[in-house]
Amino acid sequence: MTWWAVIAILAAVAIWPFAVEALRPRMNRTRREAAPGQFTTLSQGVTHYQWHGPEDGPVAVCVHGLTTPSFVWGPVAEELAQMGYRVLTYDLYGRGFSDRPRSEQDSAFFLRQLDDLLEDQGVTGEITLLGYSMGGAIASAFAAEQAGRLRQLVLLAPAGLGHDLGPVADMAVKYNFLGRWMMLGFYAKSLRRATESERGGHAHIDRIVDLQIAETRMKGFAPAVLSSLRGILDEDLDDAHRAIAAAGTPVLAIWGEKDDVIPLTCKDTLAEWNPQARQAVIPDAGHALAYTHPDAVMAAMKPVL
Q: How far is CA 172 from CA 228, 247, 261, 273, in A?
A: 11, 36, 17, 29
The string of DSSP codes covering 33-80 is TT-SSEEEEETTEEEEEEEES-TTSPEEEEE--SSS-GGGGHHHHHHH
pLDDT in tens, 33-87: 989 999 999 999 999 999 999 999 999 999 999 999 999 999 999 999 999 999 9
* Mean pLDDT on 173-181: 83
The 8-class DSSP code of residue 25 comes to P
pLDDT for residue 265:
94
How far apart CA 131 and CA 258 sit, in angstroms, is: 19
Question: What are the b/e assignments for 253-272, b being 16+ CB within 10 Å?
Answer: bbbbeebebbbeebbebbee
pLDDT of residue 6: 64
Q: Is the pTM for the entire model greater than 0.85?
A: yes
| 245-289 pLDDT tens trace | 999 999 999 999 999 999 999 999 999 999 999 999 999 999 999
For residue 1, the model assigns a pLDDT of: 66
Using one digit for the tens of pLDDT, what is the confidence trace for 15-31? Answer: 888 888 999 999 999 99
Q: What is the DSSP letter of 114?
A: H
- Alpha-carbon distance of 290 to 274, in angstroms, equals 23
